[in-house]
Structure 1
Amino acid sequence: MFTGIIETLGTITDTTLEGSNVHFDIISPITSDLKVDQSVAHNGVCLTVVAIDNQTYRVTAIDETLKKTNLKSWVKGRKVNLERCMPANGRFDGHIVQGHVDQVGKVDRIAEQDGSWIFDFSFDPNMGNVTVEKGSITINGTSLTCFNSKNGKFTVAIIPYTYEHTNFHELKVGDEVNLEFDVIGKYIQRIIRGYSE
């Protein structure tokens, strides 16, 4: 389980195709603290560390993950938000994040506003996911609060610290982002809709 509080940024140093899987080699300030078989959230996607070499480690994404997330567009030099699993005795600073991306969204607008940034996002509402006004959303692994919540659209405000210490400063209009919707909302949605669809 994660909290959506990004620890650091990693940089992709290489990508290797093997069958339908892709291996990503990533250099990061936390590599020396990692171990093989450890789960780390990468832009909100829970991936397993499969190899470590000095300050670089490797994770593998299967075809299903590539299809449903923005990992399919990752290239050498891309910055990635990183968060290790929350320790059992850790402080819960964000919200419950599973590391299971529900769908991708798109950056519609970026506006600077008195030292902070306003980001408008859209997503396909036909997949059944919803946001709630002042509710939680995870964008590229970052725990944030929604406002202007509409069908398939929402807005978040990014403070300077978050803008600088996550890959939000690299986002451009039209970019895809990984979205994980609030787990409590997802369970309520499933109870209401059932499995008849």
Structure 2
Amino acid sequence: MFTGIIESVGHIVSIERRGGDVRLQVRSADMPWADVALGDSIATNGVCLTAVALPGDGFVADVSLETLSLTTVGDWAAGSAVNLEKALMPQSRLGGHIVSGHVDGIGEVVSRASDGRSERFTLRAPAVLAKYIAHKGSITIDGISLTVNAVNGCEFDLNIVPHTLQETIIGRYQSGTRVNLEVDVIARYLERLLLGDKAAESDSKASISEAFLAENGYLR
């Protein structure tokens, strides 16, 4: 688990294709690596990766076809900047929100504009994720825990303060930038709980609709 509070910006050193999968190496001179062991999880642009080698100034990880299909890892190249966060420890402060590092889909930056000393971004999420994004709710963008300022259909706004612009890669975003999205885990579990016994049915039958909510007393 992670908090969405970025510890360091690293860079991709190399990407090696291995029979469809990928092995990559990440380096960051700013991240303290002494407490990282083989097998530890490190969120890399919000993607939970397992360290399979520790060269001293970073880590090496394998990326599966599943992860490649759901994230922006396939867009990365040597030199790409990435947000890094080590796994949450029991004594850590939960400064952001609960982040699993399991990316739900890829979003896209629609626009960017100055807003005082901050920057206001509008992003577009895949239609299937729109229902999990709420005004003043939490969302993870490339591993960064952020608050949603406004929602309009599949699009939502973020107000990014100067510190976040400086300490993460979000300051590099422009219109068209693709980003990893992880919705609030509580919203996902709530949807599943509302289904009740229908959760055991096939996906085609186990879905929440207006008719389902009315039938089960959630709408009057």
| 2:14 corresponds to | 14
TM-score norm. by structure 1 comes to 0.94
| Contact 1:31/1:52 (<8 A) preserved | no
| 2:215 corresponds to | none
The code of the aligned residue for 1:184 comes to I
Aligned length: 197
Q: Could you report, residue by residue, the CA deviation over 1:69-107 in whole angstroms, capped at 9, with x for unpaired residues?
A: 011100011110000111111111110101111111000
| Contact 2:129/2:183 (<8 A) preserved | no
1:1-197 correspondence to structure 2 within 5 Å = 1-28=1-28, 29-30=30-31, 32-33=33-34, 34-127=36-129, 129-192=131-194, 194=199, 195=203, 196=206
Q: Give 1:31 deviation, angstroms.
A: 5.7
| Contact 2:130/2:153 (<8 A) preserved | no
SS at match of 1:25: strand
| In 1, Cα distance between equivalents of 2:183 and 2:131 | 7
Q: Give 1:127 deviation, angstroms.
A: 4.9
Q: Could you report, residue by residue, the CA deviation over 1:35-76 in whole angstroms, capped at 9, with x for unpaired residues?
A: 211100001110000112231421111011011001110001
| Higher RCO structure (Cα 8 Å, ≥6 apart) | 1
| In 1, Cα distance between equivalents of 2:129 and 2:151 | 16
**Structure number having the greater strand percentage:** 1
Q: Could you report, residue by residue, the CA deviation over 1:138-168 in whole angstroms, capped at 9, with x for unpaired residues?
A: 0000000002113211111100110010000
| 2:216 corresponds to | none
SS at match of 2:90: coil
TM-score norm. by structure 2 comes to 0.85
| In 2, Cα distance between equivalents of 1:100 and 1:32 | 23
Question: Sequence identity of aligned pairs in percent?
Answer: 36
C-alpha change, 1:56 and 1:87, in structure 2 (3 Å) is closer
The code of the aligned residue for 2:22 comes to V
SS at match of 1:52: coil
RMSD: 1.5
